[in-house]
Structure 1
């Protein structure tokens, strides 16, 4: 998407902009000649994640903008206020605030320490509120000068569906706190001509943090790149602040409204397929196209047969899946995966395991003999069958509440990569959709 020049000379304050989505948004604005303050903690290189406020500043300047790197912990009111004042002194005011800084922990109540809980809530909810509060006087000045002021939060649409809370209630509360800032501040600041909106991705976005968690190309195939969020943010920030406010925007929808229909340019893997994209959290509509809808309908009969009669421990369709898995175990697979998985089947109270950490691997009914599993999946029979048939990704099942995951999320994603490889090597039993399914599940 081409720049229009509408952000030329605008002063933008971005939190968490040393890498990823925040940096992509900053660079997009910099191409217009915007002046950008990068407010983030990363002054020294992270051992695993690239980018600091100083490398971000160089990237912004290389794109045609002006940059002000600011060391800021958004939990610290003093640091925020000081960086706001430094921005105003350097650039003459503030026209746009992008609240991008966020912390995430996809853990259940028992597994979430109060230190982690406090981290998410002080960065996500409190940090967003505090940055907006400190910048408000200058945004009002921007409005009085007719400079189209905006606040844009990287947060999801509000939805009270239980599935968005049940697996990670602390994280959901913290992200929804950012969205509630949009809901309230949009109305509060409307009289001042300051827009307050939210942006959220339609699919998972490939960032350095995601790559570290997911382990490379396997997760990359399921993601879009950060450019789609940057382009959508650009559209939002160039809309009239007095009329476009209080919106929970989704990146793809925003760009479609601008006439865009081809989204292949945003694939993190240019050779990937849009049908493989993984939906992001918090969006109630998960249809990624007619093809996926067809696949979903085709699996209903499979699911009905799989749940018709609960299997006894060590028998039935789940046992047949593990027999198929056993035939693909190898020392190479163990070396690449290095994890032990446990499966708790919720509708028949059976337990299964897959040991890909020891020897040439093993699997079967019961608990892993090697000890505690790295990841425990809780799922019903039907969705277990869909996962190993390639008809639903574990990450998608998790996001939609069909699967509970306890333990190492990185290892959980490694299992998904392993299943994809196994499915490619299997003979197909279905001619209608070319997806492998155990015969007893057909």
Structure 2
């Protein structure tokens, strides 16, 4: 549901978009295609993914069906030769490159101890190095364009230490993309090349996120990002550069007043999950009040804080919750789960709790489990209650920084089955 009308300003322009076979990258490509733009689909997905729809070839078909021209290229942004080959093919077919969209990104939301170096390298090689490399190789052709833009899908450079504390490796990798904006915007001013960043205000429903979290009901559609990207890429590169833009602000700036149609579920239009790296006043005000003596870390908002979340007392929630959990434990649930969990609850009801779904008919209660835990989960008591009430999925909480997991992550995610059983018994 696009709410920003096409103006034709990208007609005949050539866009080089990394990671454009699906999700936000493809949405930007399709929006540009409606103007009659040329789109280079630089992505790895040549063969269908078993769970995620779309390849560079199916994306090309959709682009051309909308009136654009497409060039599908197999590109791993970690490989300089593959990017250079795609750039050369683009120039040969379309006589140049006007716009580069650095969309390809890798995400692993783990803390320092649980980030293996293979995944660290993956994030930094795709996010930071890939963005720098694609920009470097497209630069000669951007200099020759009279409408040159680089747009990175990366967050504002928010130096709040909270965002580093929850997943420092990922934060550095994404901020690397944003630092490219900061530096290149200034460096390329004399060449009339605009360099900007775009970041969503809320969670965005992509196939990958839906597969991981199981829902898109509290997310917005990709069209809000593609509409915002279209507005930015239509601007005069001489006058709009060096900005860290938020999708919601951009579409509002061109007259979109009602954002409800962007919501995947209109009923949740005012109850959406906020994305990370943003110090939203209403969320920040709530979390600044919560300081735990155990780690002395200020609990700023995370990506899953709700817009109109009401602050309330959580006194007595955890004991009541575990009393309810004890009623749904069974040998059948133990057989399906086969895991022991320890919960380190922070906040007003700070304490240690456990659930044993590996032995006998299962058991739960306060204190550490008798048997070694397969997974130790750490989160604020209010978020813990929301998770077991079905308002917050473990996968979502983990991805967005509300939940820290040590141990077997896959077993930790099996908790969802027990939560569903708990909700049915209510």
> Distance between the aligned counterparts of 1:208 and 1:370, measured in 2?
38
In the TM superposition, residue 327 of structure 1 has moved relative to its aligned partner by: 3.4
Query: Paired residue for 1:320?
Result: 320
Query: Paired residue for 1:353?
Result: 354
Matches within 5 A, 1:255-274: 255-269=251-265, 272-274=267-269
Query: Paired residue for 2:276?
Result: 281
Q: 1:73 to 1:272 in 2, by over 3 A?
A: same
Matches within 5 A, 1:171-182: 171-182=170-181
In the TM superposition, residue 357 of structure 1 has moved relative to its aligned partner by: 7.2
8 Å CA contact retained: 2:14, 2:97: yes
> Distance between the aligned counterparts of 1:151 and 1:199, measured in 2?
11
Query: Paired residue for 1:364?
Result: 365
In the TM superposition, residue 372 of structure 1 has moved relative to its aligned partner by: 3.5
Query: Paired residue for 1:167?
Result: 166
What is the CA RMSD across the aligned residues, in angstroms? Answer: 3.3
Q: 1:292 to 1:26 in 2, by over 3 A?
A: closer
1:372-406 CA distances to partner (integer Å, 9 max, x unpaired)? Answer: 434x3213546545655678776787688664334
Instruction: Please state if 1:35 is matched with 2:38.
Output: yes
> Distance between the aligned counterparts of 1:83 and 1:390, measured in 2?
45
8 Å CA contact retained: 2:152, 2:198: yes
In the TM superposition, residue 174 of structure 1 has moved relative to its aligned partner by: 0.3
Instruction: Please state if 1:95 is matched with 2:118.
Output: no
> Distance between the aligned counterparts of 1:268 and 1:359, measured in 2?
42
8 Å CA contact retained: 1:6, 1:32: yes
Query: Paired residue for 1:233?
Result: 229
Q: State TM-score, norm by structure 2.
A: 0.84
Aligned partner of residue 68 in structure 1, secondary structure: strand
In the TM superposition, residue 13 of structure 1 has moved relative to its aligned partner by: 0.2
1:214-256 CA distances to partner (integer Å, 9 max, x unpaired)? Answer: 12xxx21121121111111011100111111101111111111
> Distance between the aligned counterparts of 1:272 and 1:11, measured in 2?
38
Query: Paired residue for 2:378?
Result: 378
8 Å CA contact retained: 1:354, 1:361: yes
Gaps of 5+ in 1: 307-315, 427-442
Query: Paired residue for 1:75?
Result: 78
> Distance between the aligned counterparts of 2:407 and 2:25, measured in 1?
29
Structure 1 range deviating more: 121-130 or 384-393: 384-393
Query: Paired residue for 2:150?
Result: 151
Aligned partner of residue 363 in structure 1, secondary structure: strand
8 Å CA contact retained: 2:213, 2:393: no
> Distance between the aligned counterparts of 1:234 and 1:227, measured in 2?
10
Q: 1:90 to 1:293 in 2, by over 3 A?
A: closer
In the TM superposition, residue 106 of structure 1 has moved relative to its aligned partner by: 0.7
Aligned partner of residue 277 in structure 2, secondary structure: coil
Aligned residues: 403
- Candidates 121, 135, 138, aligned match of 1:135: 138
8 Å CA contact retained: 1:278, 1:396: no
